[in-house]
C-alpha cells in the first residue's frame, strides 16, 4: 500500500540544516578522509515525512557556498520542497564533524561504534533566522497552506532572532494547523542565555499541539523526567510524547495514555533516531492513525535510524512499516528489527 500524497505541502519544518563531515573510525586527528552527508533536526524530520507519503517543505537559511548548495540539492532529491529557503550571501552554512570511535584504546579514540559531534555553527546563515523569514512571500504561502509546522528547541536556541522566529510561529493563527515541537535541549547553544532556556522552552511546550520530550532532557530543563509528572506540568499540548531511557515511549493524547516499548535491535549509531521517531509519529498522525500505531511508527522509524548510518533515516517501504505497526501486542513485544523483518 502506498500512502497518498497531496498537491501541496501538508507539513513544513523550520530550522537549521548542516553539512556533515563523517570521519573514519579512530582518533579524529588520524582521519584523512571525510564522507560528506547532511544533517539538522528539522531537515531529518522532513526526509522521514516524505518517505511516508507526506508532502513536506523545509524553511531555513543557507550560505551562498558549496555546502549550502549541497544541502538544497540533497533535500530536493528526496522530494522535500526547498523553494522558500533563503540563500544568505554574508554568512556560511553550518557544518559539523562526526568523530567515530574504533575502540583502539588510544587516548583520543572513542569506544567502538561511539560517536561525537563537533559543531561549527556560530554565525551561520541559519542563526540569522528571524520573523522576517516567515513573512517572505514564498514562506508565508507554505505556512498558510500546510496542515502541520514542526520545529525544535535547537532552532530557538540558535540566536535571539531565531527565538523571535519561533515565538512568531507560536503566535500564528492555527486555522486548523498543528504546531509540533521537539525539545531537543542543547545546553551549548544556550551559552550566554542559559538562564532563559527553561522559561523559553516551557513556553514553547505549552504553546504547541504536538510535543516530543526526551525524558533526560526534560529532567535537565524542567526538573523531572517522569512522564506522568511532565503531563501534569504540561497539560496544554493535545499530544505529549515522552521518550525515556527504559526504551519505552509514553504517549498522551488528551486523556488517553499509552506506553509502547521500543523494538529489539543492534544499534549501529544513535544520531538522528529522535528525529526519525518524530517524523514517523507525525506522518501517522497526519494519516489518521490511532495513538498506539503513531507511537509504533515512531519506534520503527527510529529503529531504521539506529540500525543505519548517517543522520537521515532510510526507511523500509511504507507497506512494510504499516504491517509491522499493525501486529498484536504480543507480536510487537517480540519483534526484532533487522534486515529479515523489514525486507518484505
H helix runs in the chain, sequence order: 41-51, 66-77, 131-135, 137-145, 153-157, 160-171, 194-207, 215-222, 227-233, 273-286, 291-306, 318-325, 329-334
Write the CB contacts of 77 (distance below 8 Å, at least 6 apart in sequence): none
Point out the catalytic residue in the list 65, 275, 311, 328: 275
What SS3 state is found at 311?
Answer: coil
Extract the C-alpha cell encoding 265: 535491535
Report residue 335: phi and psi, to 5°.
-70, 130
Cβ–Cβ < 8 Å for 94, 17: yes
Q: What is the DSSP letter of 29?
A: G
Beta bridge partners of 35: 22
- Transcribe 319-336 into DSSP letters: HHHHHHHTS-HHHHHH-B
Map 139-185 to HEC letters.
Answer: HHHHHHHCCEEEEEHHHHHCCHHHHHHHHHHHHCCCCCCEEEEECCC
Evaluate whether 38 touches 271 at the Cβ level (below 8 Å). no
64 classed as catalytic: no
- What 3-state class would DSSP assign to 342? coil
**233, exposed or middle or buried, with CB in 10 Å at 0-12, 13-18, 19+?**
middle
Are 133 and 159 in contact, with CB atoms under 8 Å apart?
A: no
Residues noted as catalytic: 275
Amino acid at each position: 500500500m502506498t500512502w497518498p500524497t497531496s498537491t501541496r505541502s501538508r507539513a513544513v519544518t523550520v530550522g537549521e540544516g548542516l553539512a556533515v563531515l563523517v570521519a573514519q573510525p579512530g582518533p579524529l586527528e588520524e582521519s584523512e578522509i571525510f564522507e560528506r552527508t547532511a544533517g539538522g533536526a528539522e531537515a531529518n524530520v522532513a526526509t522521514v515525512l516524505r518517505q511516508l507519503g507526506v508532502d513536506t517543505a523545509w524553511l531555513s537559511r543557507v550560505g551562498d557556498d558549496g555546502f549550502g548548495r549541497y544541502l538544497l540539492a540533497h533535500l530536493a532529491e528526496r522530494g522535500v520542497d526547498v523553494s522558500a529557503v533563503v540563500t544568505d550571501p554574508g554568512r556560511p552554512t553550518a557544518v559539523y564533524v562526526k568523530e567515530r570511535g574504533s575502540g583502539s584504546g588510544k587516548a583520543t579514540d572513542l569506544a567502538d561504534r561511539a560517536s561525537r559531534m563537533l559543531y561549527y555553527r556560530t554565525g551561520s546563515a541559519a542563526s540569522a533566522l528571524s520573523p522576517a523569514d516567515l513573512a517572505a512571500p514564498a514562506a508565508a504561502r507554505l505556512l498558510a497552506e500546510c496542515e502541520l509546522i514542526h520545529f525544535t528547541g535547537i532552532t530557538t536556541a540558535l540566536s535571539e532572532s531565531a527565538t523571535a522566529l519561533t515565538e512568531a510561529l507560536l503566535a500564528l493563527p492555527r486555522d486548523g494547523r498543528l504546531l509540533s515541537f521537539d525539545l531537543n535541549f542543547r545546553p551549548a547553544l544556550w551559552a550566554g542565555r542559559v538562564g532563559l532556556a527553561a522559561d523559553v522552552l516551557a513556553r514553547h511546550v505549552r504553546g504547541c499541539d504536538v510535543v516530543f520530550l526526551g525524558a533526560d532532557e526534560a529532567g535537565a530543563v524542567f526538573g523531572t523526567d517522569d512522564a506522568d509528572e511532565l503531563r501534569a506540568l504540561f497539560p496544554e499540548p493535545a499530544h505529549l510524547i515522552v521518550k525515556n531511557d527504559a526504551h519505552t515511549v509514553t504517549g498522551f493524547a488528551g486523556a488517553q495514555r499509552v506506553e509502547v516499548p521500543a523494538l529489539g535491535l543492534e544499534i549501529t549509531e544513535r544520531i538522528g533516531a529522535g528525529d526519525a521517531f518524530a517524523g514517523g509519529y507525525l506522518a501517522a498522525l497526519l494519516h489518521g492513525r490511532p495513538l498506539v500505531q503513531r507511537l509504533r511508527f515512531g519506534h520503527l522509524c527510529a529503529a531504521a535510524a539506529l540500525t543505519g548510518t548517517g543522520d537521515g533515516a532510510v526507511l523500509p517501504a511504507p507497506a512494510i512499516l504499516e504491517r509491522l505497526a499493525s501486529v498484536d501486542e504480543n507480536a510487537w513485544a517480540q519483534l526484532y528489527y533487522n534486515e529479515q523483518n523489514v525486507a518484505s
